[in-house]
Amino acid sequence: MALGEFELIDRFFRDRGATRTDVVLGIGDDGALLRPPSGADLVAVSDTLVEGVHFPAGSPAESIGHRSLAVNLSDIAAMGATPRWALLSLTLPRVEEAWLAGFARGFGALARAHGVALVGGDTTRGPMTIGVQVLGAVPAGDGLRRSGGRPGDALFVTGTPGDAAAGLALIMAADGSAAGLRSDAPADALEALRRRFLFPTPRIAEGESLRGLASACIDISDGLVGDLGKLAAASACAAVLDVDALPRSAALAAVTPEAALRSMLDGGDDYELLLAVPPAQVARVASMPGLTRIGELRDASTAARVTLRRRAADGTLSETPATGAGFDHFAG
């Protein structure tokens, strides 16, 4: 690299994150020294973004910096934990100072917003690959898992799933001509969806407030139906989604009215939380802002892991497995 590894770290990343008193020794030695809180479990997460796989080549550096941390913070949120420290492994084909400055700005702003100190990592020359690890803490025994759901638990979701996938489709279709996307929609709706992909919001506060209330939790990175399937499987349950209850953003409805449901059910990159809540806690969770009740867990003896349920015009409920056929059946 044109700049030495250590100059690069110093120049762009030192003091970029939050300042924390539990960092005994940060960037610059063989390792970081961190003082864990007593009575807490640590939560360790790791996610890697590869150019052209997890984000389009040429994405704004600030977005890449933000997303590389956000996807990890979302995993921390899904465990009900509070983030503390991050490590960054940055592999880059070349040193471009403007790119690094943008990356550091995006990463640093999100880190400071959540009180996360950047305590170490490494830089390497190679194909663009951004590995981030975050360590958080949760009161011992209180970590949320995917596996605690039981039949009869209600399902809730944060935010409005589907927005990020539509935003990515808008970004990929540079001329706005992608099938099902209305490029003549209001500019603020288009921009809102793009930003939902470029700058996702990790639901840290929501995850913290769900400790002791949710029986199971997962973050939606691969699509609502797919990740619900994982939560249900880990909980040895089946799940039913009330399609009419899914929270649809006004922007999504404006930009892609025909494909909104498909995006909500199957679109990735949302980084919302999906959770199961026992009956005794439902009223309390339902009163929290930003959460929508969207279905329930039930006995795993039903044929499909995830079932879509909809009320017809005549008031009758119909159910279809959330597989290819069932999915298409409800599309639109």
Do residues 306 and 239 touch, judged by C-beta distance below 8 A? yes
Q: How far apart are CA 322 and CA 265, in angstroms?
A: 9
How is residue 17 annotated by DSSP? S
CB of 23 to a second copy, least distance (A): 10
Stretch that binds a second copy, among 103-111, 137-145, 279-287, 324-332 (CB under 8 A): 137-145
Our finding on whether 53 is near a second copy (CB under 8 A) is yes
Our finding on whether 73 is near a second copy (CB under 8 A) is no
User: Which of 18, 69, 70, 78 forms a contact with a second copy (CB under 8 A)?
Assistant: 78
Our finding on whether 69 is near a second copy (CB under 8 A) is no
Residue window 256-295: x/- pattern of binding to a second copy, with contact defined by CB under 8 A: ----------------------------------------
CB of 185 to a second copy, least distance (A): 33
CB of 313 to a second copy, least distance (A): 39
User: Which of 109, 113, 115, 129 forms a contact with a second copy (CB under 8 A)?
Assistant: 129
Residue nearer to a second copy on the CB measure, 90 or 255? 90
Residue nearer to a second copy on the CB measure, 49 or 294? 49
Nearest to 196, CA basis, from 271, 102, 146, 113: 271
Residue nearer to a second copy on the CB measure, 138 or 171? 138
How is residue 36 annotated by DSSP? P
Pairing of strands 117-125, 82-92: parallel
Our finding on whether 50 is near a second copy (CB under 8 A) is yes
State the CB neighbour count (10 A cutoff) for residue 94: 9
User: Which of 121, 290, 321, 326 forms a contact with a second copy (CB under 8 A)?
Assistant: 121
Number of residues that bind a second copy (CB under 8 A): 59
User: Which of 8, 61, 64, 81 forms a contact with a second copy (CB under 8 A)?
Assistant: 81
Residue nearer to a second copy on the CB measure, 88 or 181? 88
Residue window 197-236: x/- pattern of binding to a second copy, with contact defined by CB under 8 A: --------------------xxx--------------x--
Q: Which residues of 279-316 are buried (b: 16+ CB within 10 A; e: fewer)?
A: eebbeebeeeeebbbbbbbbeeeeebbbbbbbeeeeee
Residue window 7-46: x/- pattern of binding to a second copy, with contact defined by CB under 8 A: -----------------xx--xxxxxxxxx-x-xxxxxxx
The angle, 0 to 180 degrees and rounded to 10, between the axes of the packed helices 5-13 and 97-113 is 50
Q: Which residues of 206-234 are buried (b: 16+ CB within 10 A; e: fewer)?
A: bbbbbbebbbbbbbbbbbbbebbbebbbe
Nearest to 234, CA basis, from 218, 211, 223, 212: 218
CB of 88 to a second copy, least distance (A): 8
DSSP 149-197: --TT-EEEEES-TTHHHHHHHHHHSTTS--TT--TTS-HHHHHHHHHHH
Angle at 168 between CA 257 and CA 210, to 5 degrees: 85
Residue nearer to a second copy on the CB measure, 48 or 320? 48
Write out the two tokens for 114.
């959540």
Residue 45, beta-bridge partner list: 134
Task: Give the residues lining the site for a second copy (CB under 8 A).
Answer: 24-25, 28-36, 38, 40-48, 50, 52-54, 75-76, 78-79, 81, 85, 87-89, 91, 119-122, 124-127, 129, 131, 133, 135-136, 138, 140-141, 143, 145-147, 217-219, 234
